[in-house]
Amino acid sequence: MIHLFPNKIRLIAFDIDGTIFSSENIISEVYKDSIENFSQSTGIHIEMPSHDEIMLQIGKPVKTIFKNLLPHLAEHYRDKISDSVLQFLCE
């Protein structure tokens, strides 16, 4: 077996707690964009949760987050928003 870069990679670090890079602001924008896109595509007015409200939900499952943020919205609509977030994060 030929190693093209035998000494190039010495360390791979994972920053899962946000010590090096904080992704909370990015995910907050993804949530807001998903809500706004849903609202525009369906014509259903949704009051946008505040940044602080979204931050209180970080770390929970996505469907739980939208259940907490948008309790007045029917579950199948919340699921559409959740699915769009998950699709974006998996791309």
pLDDT of residue 33: 95
Q: How confident is the model at residue 56 (pLDDT cuts 50, 70, 90)?
A: very high
CA distances (Å), 18 to each of 42, 57, 65, in order? 35, 16, 19
Q: How confident is the model at residue 90 (pLDDT cuts 50, 70, 90)?
A: confident
**Average model confidence (pLDDT) for the chain?**
86
Q: What is the pTM of this model?
A: 0.75
SS3 assignment, position 41: helix
Name the residue with higher pLDDT: 64 or 16: 64
**Is pLDDT above 80 for 69?**
yes
